[in-house]
């Protein structure tokens, strides 16, 4: 067995996808069952497309109404006054807040989630692994309003010490300067979002790591590799696309998180240089906060901001798709 030729970065795919394609092409016969099944699955795909197209059309229509009435630049304005005469609103603050809080959340959550997934699949005693993964799944089920209540009542007061410490030692950077307000800033939101998306990233990563080919791991172990070397050489490369996909699911939730952010953040329509001072806002939080009292015009304006959230999510997902596509050879199937 010649492992050294394959070792460089990844375990070999189970088999090159091209073979199956050739086989499939060679098999000209289609049976009725096949046709029905293909029809069903294709129909589902088309159904999904139709719903999406309807939503997209609806959103675009309402957004165009709103933006055409907006007197200020929609992208760069620092205020939200759709009911003013003339209407004036912009999303600069929301873009900043959404991106920053999600970045903080991802930086904290992804490494920890991968750690937990590895812990469950490769480190924890087998008897502990099952219940643990169950507990983690359960935590994905905690409704966001409960995370919000917990964040505001339990987490935020705990963070006063941490904020003080960050301010003492890193206050000179400007971005970690703290004026001593209640710790309900974008940084707090980032931490809370990290906790909220941990379970979802962990669950998917865990499933993927579990699928890593056992033979490679055993082979590596047989050659005297330490456990970490086994993971680094055979588990992580195999799971990379899955982890990215999981992170994207998490990021999607972080970007769109509504109730928890609305409960924890102390929002305002201004951008603070410091991450620790209260203020800022995110798209979803802004929609939730303003929606119930909004007039028709106000609703359209909020929908327009929702459309931007869409586009941001799309860009993020597109990026992830590209990364995954480049590594498509690690996937077992031929998609």
188-207 residues in contact with another protein (CB under 8 A) are: 195, 198-200, 202-204, 207
Q: Which residues contact 177 (CB under 8 A, 6 or more apart)?
A: 167, 171, 273, 274, 276, 277
CB 12 within 8 A of CB 329: no
CB 82 within 8 A of CB 296: no
Residue 68 or residue 292: which is nearer to another protein going by CB?
A: 292
Question: Quick one: tokens of 46?
Answer: 């088309």
For tokens 């600069």, name the residue.
92
Residue 180 CB, nearest approach to another protein (Å) = 7
**How far is the C-alpha of 16 from the C-alpha of 2, rounded, in Å?**
18
Q: Does 236 bind another protein (CB under 8 A)?
A: no
Residue 110 CB, nearest approach to another protein (Å) = 11
SS3 breakdown of the chain: % helix, strand, coil, rounded to 5? Answer: 70, 0, 25
84-103 residues in contact with another protein (CB under 8 A) are: none
Among 129, 137, 171, 327, binds another protein (CB under 8 A): 137
Among 245, 247, 272, 274, binds another protein (CB under 8 A): 245
Q: Which residues contact 167 (CB under 8 A, 6 or more apart)?
A: 176, 177, 178, 276
66-85 residues in contact with another protein (CB under 8 A) are: 80-81, 83
Q: Does 14 bind another protein (CB under 8 A)?
A: yes
Residue 309 CB, nearest approach to another protein (Å) = 6
Q: Does 258 bind another protein (CB under 8 A)?
A: yes
Q: Residue 281's CB: how many other CB atoms inside 10 A?
A: 28
Q: Does 295 bind another protein (CB under 8 A)?
A: yes
Among 10, 65, 99, 149, binds another protein (CB under 8 A): 149
């Amino acid at each position: 067995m010649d492992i050294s030729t394959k070792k460089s970065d990844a375990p070999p795919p189970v088999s090159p996808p091209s073979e199956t394609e050739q086989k499939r092409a060679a098999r000209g016969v289609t049976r009725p069952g096949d046709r029905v099944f293909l029809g069903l699955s294709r129909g589902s795909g088309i159904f999904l497309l139709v719903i999406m197209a309807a939503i997209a059309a609806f959103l675009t229509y309402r957004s165009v109404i709103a933006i055409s009435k907006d007197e200020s630049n929609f992208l760069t304005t620092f205020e939200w006054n759709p009911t003013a005469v003339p209407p004036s609103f912009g999303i600069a603050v929301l873009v900043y807040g959404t991106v920053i809080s999600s970045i903080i959340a991802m930086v904290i959550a992804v490494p920890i989630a991968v750690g937990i997934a590895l812990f469950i699949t490769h480190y924890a005693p087998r008897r502990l692994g099952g219940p643990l993964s169950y507990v983690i799944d359960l935590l994905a089920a905690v409704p966001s309003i409960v995370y919000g209540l917990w964040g505001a009542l339990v987490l935020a007061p705990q963070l006063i010490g941490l904020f003080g410490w960050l301010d003492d030692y890193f206050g000179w950077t400007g971005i970690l300067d703290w004026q001593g307000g209640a710790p309900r800033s974008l940084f707090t939101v980032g931490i809370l979002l990290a906790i909220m998306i941990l379970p979802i990233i962990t669950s998917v990563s865990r499933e993927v790591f579990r699928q890593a080919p056992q033979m490679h791991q055993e082979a590596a172990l047989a050659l005297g590799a330490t456990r970490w070397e086994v993971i680094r050489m055979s588990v992580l490369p195999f799971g990379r696309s899955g982890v990215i996909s999981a992170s994207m699911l998490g990021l999607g939730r972080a970007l769109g998180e509504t109730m928890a952010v609305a409960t924890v953040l102390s929002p305002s329509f201004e951008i603070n240089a410091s991450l620790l001072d209260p203020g800022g806002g995110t798209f979803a939080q802004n929609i939730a906060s303003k929606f119930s009292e909004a007039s028709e015009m106000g609703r359209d304006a909020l929908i327009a901001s929702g459309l931007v959230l869409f586009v941001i999510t799309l860009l993020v997902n597109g990026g992830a798709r590209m990364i995954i596509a480049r590594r498509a050879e690690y996937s077992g199937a031929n998609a």
